[in-house]
Amino acid sequence: MLAIIAEKPSLARNIVAGIGDMTKKNGYYENADYVVTWAFGHLFSLYDIEDYMQNPPEKTKWTLDNLPCFPEKFEFKLKKDQNGKTDDGVKKQFGVISALLNRPDVTGIVNAGDSDREGEIIVRLCINHALKSKKPVYRLWLPDQTPQTVAKGIKEMKSDSVYDNLAKEGFSRTYIDWLYGVNLTRYATIKSGTLLRVGRVIVPIVKAIYDRDNEIKNFKPETYYALVSKAITAGEEIELVSKYKFSENEKAKAEKCCVRMNALQAVVTDKKAKKEVVSAGKLYSLTKLQNHLGKKYKMPMERSLAIAQKLYENGYISYPRTNSEYLATNEKNKFKKIIGDIKNLGYGIIFKDKKSIFDDSKIESHSALTPTYKIPQKSALSNDEYTVYSAIFKRFCAVFCEEECVAAKTEINVSLGGKEDYKLKGSVIVTAGWTKYDGAPKTDKILPDLKVGDIINVNFRPEERQTAPPKHYTIETLNNYLKNPFRDEKTPQDGDEEEYKAIFKGLELGTEATRTGIIDNAKKSGYISLKKDVYYIENNGTFLIEQLLDMNISMDKYKTSELGQALKKVYHGDMTVEESVNMAKEEIKRVFDSDQSGGTGFYGDRIGLCPKCGKAVLRGRYSYACEDYKKNCDFSFNIRMLGCSVPQSQATALLGDGKTDKLKFVSKAGKPFEARLKLDENGKVVFDFN
C-alpha cells in the first residue's frame, strides 16, 4: 500500500481520477493499493525569532536587542492562522497525514507536491514531521494533471532522493528569504518607525521602478532637427530620413544642408525581392504568456497566473510556472496524440520534429505551456479563462501549423549623389499559414514598383523633433528586465541563447514561480501601482527605497542576483545549503555593522527649521517634530498619515517652500485622494487640495 500526499486537494482529486475507483474517507481516499491525501500548500512555516528564545519578550514589541537573528538550526512549526492562533484545519489535516503514513499496511510514501522546488519541500516537511519509522519515499512528477498523465506518472515514479538537490535549493531559498525578510524588515521598521517590508526580491523590483520613474521625472527633452524628405515618386510618397542631425540652435545650418542635398540626384542602385518563410512565435513560458496577456488585454500578472493555475488544476493545460518555451523530447508521443486530437477538431496542424520546438537543453524542469488531451468546450470556461486558454491553444496551433506562412519582402537601396544611402523595406504576407491562428506579424508598407536606375524625387527639410524620455515599465518590459537584469536594453538580443543562459545561471531576479506573487505584494503594500499595463512608483515605494538607501541596505540587483546564482549552485550540487545561507548572513551582518559604526542612523536627522520657533525640526520614529517639542514648542506632524508615508524630501519641502508635491492618501472611509500638505498661517500642517 502506497500513501500519496498531494500538495493540494485539487491535485489529490486529479490523482484519484488517474488511479480510478477510490473511496472517499475523512480527509483521504482509499482503495486496495493506495491511500491519497493532501496538504493545503504549506502546512509548516519557519519559527519566528521569539520561538528560538528561552524567555521571549512580547512579540508585538520588536526590538533591536535580538537582531540580527541567525538560528543555528532552522526549525519549522505547524502554520498558524492569520491571527497567530493554531489553525485547526491545518492541525487536523496534518493529523490525517501522520496517521496514514504510520499505518502498518502503508509500505511506501509518495511525494506528490507540485512539480517544482516549493512543492518538493512542502510535502517533504510533512513527511519529515510525521513519519516515525523509515519507509521508502517516491516522487510523482507530473507535467499536467490529466488522468492519462497521472496514470503514466505513477508507473514511472522514481525515488524521491533523485530530487534531493531540488529540495536543498528549496530549503536554501526558504532560509535565505527568512534571514533577509525577518532581520531587515524588523531593522528597517524599527529605524523608520514605519512598517517597511524588506525582502530579497521585492526591493530590487521596487527599486527598478523607482529608478525608471525618477529618470522620467528628471528628463529634460532636447529639441533637434532631423533632415527628412517626403516626396511623391511614381504616385507614392517615399520618406527618406538622413542620418545627419542638427541641434536646436543650428536651424540655419540644417536648412543650408537641405539645399545642398536637394541639389543631388537620388537613384535606385539596388533592389532585392524575395519570398521568405516567416516562423510563428515560440510556445509560451509563463512570463511570455503574462507579457502577451498584459499587453493585449491589460491583464495583471496575478490574474493571469491564477487563471492559468485553475486551467492546470482542471487538466486543460500543462504545468504553468515554467520558464521554458520549448518541449521535452520524451513528450513527443504525448504531443503526437494531442495534435491528432486537435486536428480532428478541424485545425490544420501537423506534428513537427524540430529543434526549434523540441530542445531539452532549454528546459530546466518543465516544457512550455501547452494544451493537454483534455480540450474544453468554450462554454465550460469563463471569459477570462477562455482568453488565457485560447492564447495558449492558438500559439500551439501556430507552432504546429501545417501550412507555412510566406511573406514577399522587398529591399531597395537609394543613393543620394553617392553621398548617403537609404534603405527602403517593404513586405507583404503571401500565404497566411499560422497567421490564421495567432495574429499576423507586423508587416511594412508596400513599396512602389521601382527599378534599378529609377530617379527618386527628393525634398529634404529640417523637421523639428524632440528627444524622448525613457518609458515607464510595462508588464512586458519589467518582466524582460527581471529575467535578465544585466542585459543592455538597447542592444538587440542575439537569439535566445543568452536568455536561457541567464535563467540557468540564476541571474534573474525572482523566478517564474515567485515573481508574480512578489510584484503583487509590492502593489498591495502600496509601493507600486499598475494602471492598464504600466507600473508606477508610489509614495510608499519612494519612502521604502529612500529609507533603505539611508540605512545602507543596498539589496540591489547585484546582491539579489548573487544569491539567485547561489541557489542554482545548490541545485547543481556545487554549493551546500550552509554555504549559501552564510552568504546571506554576511550581507545582513554588514548592514548591522555599518549601523554600529555610527554611519546611517536617521531618526534625529535635521529636516528643516521649525515654522513656529525657528529651531531645528528632527525626524522622530513616527513624526517630524521641533527639537523643542513638548517643552516650549508644539510643532510636529506625523510621518505616516492616512495611508501615506511622507518622504523626508517632502517634509523638507514643506518646511522650506511651505508645501509638498501632491501625495496620495486614503481617507478613513477607505477612499483614495490626492492632496498637498501645506503650512497654514499658524504653522499648522494642513491638506491643500489645489
CB of 615 to Zn ion, least distance (A): 5
Q: Which is nearer to Zn ion, 429 or 613 (CB)?
A: 613
Residue from 218, 245, 274 nearest 460 by CA: 245
CB of 651 to Zn ion, least distance (A): 14
Q: Which is nearer to Zn ion, 458 or 633 (CB)?
A: 633
Q: Which is nearer to Zn ion, 628 or 661 (CB)?
A: 628
CB of 626 to Zn ion, least distance (A): 3
CB of 465 to Zn ion, least distance (A): 52
Write the single-letter amino acid at 588: I
Side-chain half-sphere CA neighbours of 608 within 13 A? 19
Cα distances (angstroms) measured from residue 664 to each of 253, 258, 529: 48, 50, 12
CB of 633 to Zn ion, least distance (A): 3
Strands 23-24 and 2-6: unpaired
The greatest distance separating any two alpha carbons of the chain, rounded to the nearest whole angstrom, comes to 97
CB of 606 to Zn ion, least distance (A): 13
Report CA torsion sign: 462, 466, 470, 473.
Answer: negative
Q: Which is nearer to Zn ion, 401 or 633 (CB)?
A: 633
Q: Which is nearer to Zn ion, 520 or 628 (CB)?
A: 628
Torsion angle in degrees (nearest 10) through CA of 598, 601, 606, 610: -130
Q: Which is nearer to Zn ion, 500 or 624 (CB)?
A: 624
Q: Which is nearer to Zn ion, 190 or 613 (CB)?
A: 613
Residue from 421, 481, 483 nearest 456 by CA: 421
CB of 321 to Zn ion, least distance (A): 56
Interface ranges with Zn ion (CB under 5 A): 610, 612-613, 615, 626, 628, 633, 635
Q: Which is nearer to Zn ion, 198 or 685 (CB)?
A: 685
C-alpha grid cell, residue 244: 545627419
CB of 658 to Zn ion, least distance (A): 16
Q: Any idea which residue has 496524440 for its cell?
A: 337
Q: Which residues pair with 677 in a beta bridge?
A: 687
Number of other residues whose CB lies within 10 A of the CB of residue 462: 21
Q: Which is nearer to Zn ion, 208 or 633 (CB)?
A: 633
Beta strand ranges found along 222-370 (DSSP E): 223-233, 236-247, 266-278
CB of 632 to Zn ion, least distance (A): 7
Q: Which is nearer to Zn ion, 258 or 617 (CB)?
A: 617
Q: Which is nearer to Zn ion, 112 or 655 (CB)?
A: 655
Q: Are 35 and 4 in contact (CB under 8 A)?
A: yes
Strands 34-38 and 236-247: unpaired
CB of 310 to Zn ion, least distance (A): 58
For helices 164-192 and 557-571, what crossing angle results, to 10°?
A: 160
What is the Cα–Cα distance from 36 to 519, expressed in whole angstroms? Answer: 34
Q: Which is nearer to Zn ion, 196 or 626 (CB)?
A: 626
Q: Which is nearer to Zn ion, 157 or 633 (CB)?
A: 633
CB of 688 to Zn ion, least distance (A): 21
What is the Cα–Cα distance from 344 to 638, expressed in whole angstroms? Answer: 67
CB of 640 to Zn ion, least distance (A): 21
Q: Are 128 and 121 in contact (CB under 8 A)?
A: no
Strands 236-247 and 223-233: antiparallel
What is the Cα–Cα distance from 457 to 565, expressed in whole angstroms? Answer: 58
CB of 620 to Zn ion, least distance (A): 13
Order of strands across the sheet with 460-466?
Answer: 236-247, 223-233, 460-466
Side-chain half-sphere CA neighbours of 179 within 13 A? 25
C-alpha grid cell, residue 440: 499576423
What 3-state class would DSSP assign to 387? helix
Phi, psi dihedral angles at 673 (to 5 degrees): -150, 160
Phi, psi dihedral angles at 388 (to 5 degrees): -70, -45
